[in-house]
Chains A and B, each alone.
Chain A
């Protein structure tokens, strides 16, 4: 009765886990690397030569991919508050020894936030506010009124569909040491996920906006809302 719902194929791929803990650590590190840089065949080949007689990198790659799918299913299926991760893992892999399970648990918990950030908010992506620039403007003349004094606040809203922590990296992008194609791809990505809005408002409305938003924030901190959110959780 595995609560993680791994398929038989994935289990087969994870057969490599039945090895000393140090080897499993190596595998987990490869999985981390996969998350950040994508597959690295040379590395798998080196590991394969160490683990198997044939030196075939394929089982190693399968194992790494299965580890990642394990990571994802643990993150999505086991709620973060229930700490008995160890028991779940033990139920899933009854034939592994404690040391390896420890390594697995560490692997799963350390990357939990990363996976959570990208998966949980991944389904329906609304625009998030990333940054706001503003400028106080006074219109002193226009074609229809030559003498006036119209004060407006012009704001530029930077909206983005990516979750926030990934945005930060995008915002502080450094162009040095990147190839043309990479930069072009990044711009393409920005065009797809970004939206900059120019809006304006008057000072009186600005004050009203501040007040309303503060009310919203205060409301979210009330016991009632908290109870509801905790209840759902």
Chain B
């Protein structure tokens, strides 16, 4: 099923291939294997892929890429990253990518390497681009505590009821730091109705999954 969905755009892509990549990208790709040596090409592609997939991770710089012809290398880096981004965006598979590159008459060694790396990392690329876009604060974590007052400035006696402090939040991916999205108080009755409401969502989802 997924294969048919992917094939559709790639079949159409032949007609509009040139349109999807800008001249700068094409020029950058053409440098690979020609101006930039085959060995350096491999390093450059691998490095670009790593930096694309792990934007927050600290990855050791590879100075030899820029040792000679730095402008071309910079252009090629941009070309490779853009190529992968566009390919992932339009759901190309390895074959479609190869076809595109051959239409652009890229150096054959570079085509092989680009396709291989793309196929190896396609899933990660899709996952990476799936995360990109507009989102509301995403809740993945719940913290709670039960609180009961003993005495307060306005009342000498305790209310004698346990309250819940519910804290919904998520973790920052890079640092693991927890970010509170919302915090509120409720009593047992309100908590029960909240749980019921959430279960209603779950039930609805289960129904959608079956029907």
Residues of A within 8 A of B (CB): 76-77, 79-80, 116, 119-124, 126-129, 132, 134, 136, 139, 142-148, 150, 152-154, 157, 159, 164, 197-203, 205-210, 212-214, 216-217, 219-221, 225, 228-230, 232-233
Contact = CB atoms under 8 A, between A and B. Distances in A.
A145 B166 CA distance: 35
A76 B126 contact: no
Interface stretch (B46-54, B63-71, B150-158): B150-158
Interface of B: 5-6, 9, 85, 88-91, 126, 129-130, 132-133, 135-142, 144, 146, 148-150, 152-162, 164-166, 168, 181-188, 190-192, 194-195, 197-202, 204-205, 208
A14 to B, nearest CB: 22
Contact of B144 (A80, A210, A212, A221): A212
Contact of A134 (B85, B135, B142, B201): B201
10 contacts: A79-B156, A127-B182, A144-B132, A164-B187, A198-B136, A199-B181, A206-B202, A210-B195, A210-B199, A212-B144
Given A120-B155, A200-B139, A217-B191, A134 B129 contact: no
B139 A142 contact: no
A229 B162 contact: yes
A123 B153 contact: yes
Sort A-B residue pairs by CB-CB distance and give the 10 closest, nearest first: A233-B160, A79-B157, A142-B133, A144-B132, A200-B136, A201-B139, A144-B129, A216-B144, A126-B185, A145-B129
B133 A209 contact: no
Given A144-B132, A208-B140, 6 more contacts: A119-B155, A150-B130, A152-B138, A197-B181, A199-B139, A209-B168
Nearest to B209: A203
Given A148-B130, A164-B190, A199-B182, A216 B160 contact: no
Contact of A136 (B9, B126, B154, B201): B201
Contacts of B162: 220, 225, 229
Contact of B160 (A154, A209, A230): A230
Given A136-B205, A146-B89, A210-B199, A154 B136 contact: yes
B128 to A, nearest CB: 9
A80 B185 contact: no
A14 B141 CA distance: 56
A229 B202 contact: no
A214 B129 contact: no
Nearest to B189: A164
A213 B42 CA distance: 51
A200 B137 contact: yes
Contact of B184 (A126, A145, A146, A230): A126
A152 B138 CA distance: 9
Contacts of B148: 228-229, 232
B157 A76 contact: yes
A146 B161 CA distance: 52
A52 B208 CA distance: 74
Given A76-B156, A129-B184, A199 B168 contact: yes
Given A128-B190, A197-B181, A212-B144, A220 B133 contact: no
A208 B195 CA distance: 11
B157 A208 contact: no
Contacts of B138: 152, 199-202
Nearest to A215: B144
Contact of B191 (A120, A146, A203, A213): A213
A5 to B, nearest CB: 10
Contacts of A124: 152
